[in-house]
Chain A
């Protein structure tokens, strides 16, 4: 298997460790005995492979390293947020001291320099922690650039700013393999498409959030991206696309299932709510089925989560007021048991939900 991204490399390294442990057990039980030359051949091959992975992807070679990596990821994300806030406040602190031309020069220069810095760091940082931090700061500089141009020249607020933000976040995400920037880009893109759908009908762009249906086409589009464009070289990108696509589909359905007045449909609110409750259940079940078929565990989990949310909110609507609380919670518990039984059958039938990996 050729390692295409960090996840693949890490998985291969983990499999090597498992293989070595099992080999040691087999040798101890005298089931298998490799010659000295064979052992040496395997060991040197594995070391070469691991050294390559270490250089290219800074993989974790043991459990302690993995725990430290998690801490480093958190520190990198928090540091990036703090540095982005620092850039924002730094400009606000001093921008009033300069004339308009100098303000514009500073903003463009900051965008260009931070972009160059992010790419420079990325070339020298195999771990990715520092390059992702620098990329997030570069994104903050570009957002500040556009926002401040609007403030300096009193430009009419518009949804159009979301499109270059999305494009830049996606560009930085692909350049530095930063999933957090991919998420930022997807959110900007979702908001832009939703606002455009509304403004085509003459609506004011900021009202896009008041009609959750605006997000449905955008959600479908985002979900379909990994199907249309291969994301194999980019670690975890396909998962982010699918999860955010599903969130953009299910969250509007969930809102409309309880707030029919927010719909475009010219029906009574109760009819709209009932329709979206049914659609929510059917879509969640469909998504679970699709996830099982395609071996997408994140899709199964997202579908399951929303199926349970739809079910529990419906049970709450039906029984919370009319039923003794002990009975209500007992029913919730029993539905959880029922879901577990169904999932167990699915698991044994398809080998998914942990089955295939073990």
Chain B
């Protein structure tokens, strides 16, 4: 069959309209009631994305800031992506070696990232535990300093612990990774509160490192959707007019509260935005 101009016209227009219809239909399905979860977040969980090309981009996007539960004694706690245990990695579909040596760990790490789901807990027991850890750390260092008041190291440690506690109380995200699985339904069954727990698609990665002459293996995960949440045009004026909060007028964050819904495909959208009360 010879393709005529009319064939191309019809095919092109149909393709453009069909693909847009599929995409918009998916959006409508995602946002249809009831939403999978509804969270009341603040600037602590919704970071502002300052694009380096802001002058060229009139859109505003927020970043969903979440973090991993950090045991007080964990010296590797500053690892940027949090630990999933080897047992959890096996649950997530990774081949986990029975014995750990250079070769088996190398094979474990060679596995490609896999699809999975994370459940994030908002302002719940995990956050309170981290707050308690910070308080205990400050109490411990304060006691140590009382016995050696001239010790410079202890003075610095106390200051760092006090700063850390203040950061936990006022600035840190209260959205903490609670669990991971390959099946979102099983996570929802375990975490049914839709106003405290949100389930999001995640990219799970295998890692392993050597510590004290032994191998440790586990995994980390990141949520691609968290990188950018579009702020619709109707909130732009309010957002731009928000005053900057402490600690300084120039480096503080804009302070606000936002209601964010996560739909049937776990995709988020901002439902409400308002300035937070001082």
When distances are taken between beta carbons in the complex, the residues of chain A under 8 Å from B230 are 151-154
User: If A94-B58, A153-B267, A154-B230 touch, does A207 touch B16 (CB 8 Å cutoff)?
Assistant: no
User: If A92-B58, A164-B19, A168-B15 touch, does A100 touch B201 (CB 8 Å cutoff)?
Assistant: no
A235 on the B face (CB < 8 A): no
B residues 188-220 with Cβ under 8 Å of A? Answer: 201, 203-204
Among residues of A, the one whose C-beta sits closest to the C-beta of B28 is A153
Q: How many residues of B contact A (CB 8 A)?
A: 50
User: If A92-B56, A156-B201 touch, does A149 touch B236 (CB 8 Å cutoff)?
Assistant: no
B66 on the A face (CB < 8 A): no
User: If A154-B267, A156-B224, A210-B112 touch, does A96 touch B58 (CB 8 Å cutoff)?
Assistant: yes
Q: Closest Cβ of chain B: how far from A309's Cβ, in Å?
A: 25
Which of the segments B1-9, B69-77, B79-87, B158-166 contacts the partner chain?
A: B1-9
B57 on the A face (CB < 8 A): yes
A171 on the B face (CB < 8 A): yes
B residues 102-117 with Cβ under 8 Å of A? Answer: 106-107, 110, 112-115
Q: How far is the CA of A154 from the CA of B267 in the complex (A)?
A: 6
Q: Mark A179-214 against chain B: 1 for CB-CB distance below 8 A, else 0.
A: 000000000000000000011001110110011000
Q: Closest Cβ of chain B: how far from A149's Cβ, in Å?
A: 5
Which of the segments A12-20, A111-119, A287-295 contacts the partner chain?
A: A111-119
Q: How many residues of A contact B (CB 8 A)?
A: 49
* Contact across chains for B24 and A175 when beta carbons are under 8 A apart: no
A104 on the B face (CB < 8 A): yes
User: If A92-B57, A156-B201, A168-B12 touch, does A98 touch B267 (CB 8 Å cutoff)?
Assistant: no
User: If A111-B16, A146-B23 touch, does A198 touch B232 (CB 8 Å cutoff)?
Assistant: no
B residues 227-271 with Cβ under 8 Å of A? Answer: 228-230, 232-234, 236, 265-269
A residues 104-147 with Cβ under 8 Å of B? Answer: 104, 107-108, 111-112, 115-116, 119, 123, 142, 145-146
User: If A155-B23, A203-B113 touch, does A112 touch B266 (CB 8 Å cutoff)?
Assistant: no
User: If A115-B16, A174-B8, A204-B114 touch, does A154 touch B229 (CB 8 Å cutoff)?
Assistant: yes
Taking A164-B19, A202-B93 as known contacts, 18 extra A-B pairs with beta carbons closer than 8 A to each other, sorted by chain A number, are A93-B56, A97-B58, A98-B233, A99-B234, A107-B20, A115-B12, A119-B5, A145-B20, A146-B19, A153-B267, A155-B27, A156-B225, A164-B15, A175-B12, A203-B114, A203-B115, A204-B115, A207-B112
Q: Give B contacts to A, CB under 8 Å.
A: 3, 5, 8-9, 11-13, 15-17, 19-20, 23-24, 26-27, 30, 53, 56-61, 93, 106-107, 110, 112-115, 182, 201, 203-204, 224-225, 228-230, 232-234, 236, 265-269
28 contacts between A and B (CB under 8 A): A92-B56, A93-B56, A94-B58, A96-B57, A104-B20, A108-B16, A149-B20, A149-B24, A151-B228, A151-B230, A153-B230, A154-B267, A154-B269, A156-B201, A156-B224, A156-B266, A156-B267, A164-B19, A171-B15, A174-B8, A175-B12, A199-B115, A202-B114, A203-B115, A204-B204, A206-B113, A207-B113, A211-B112
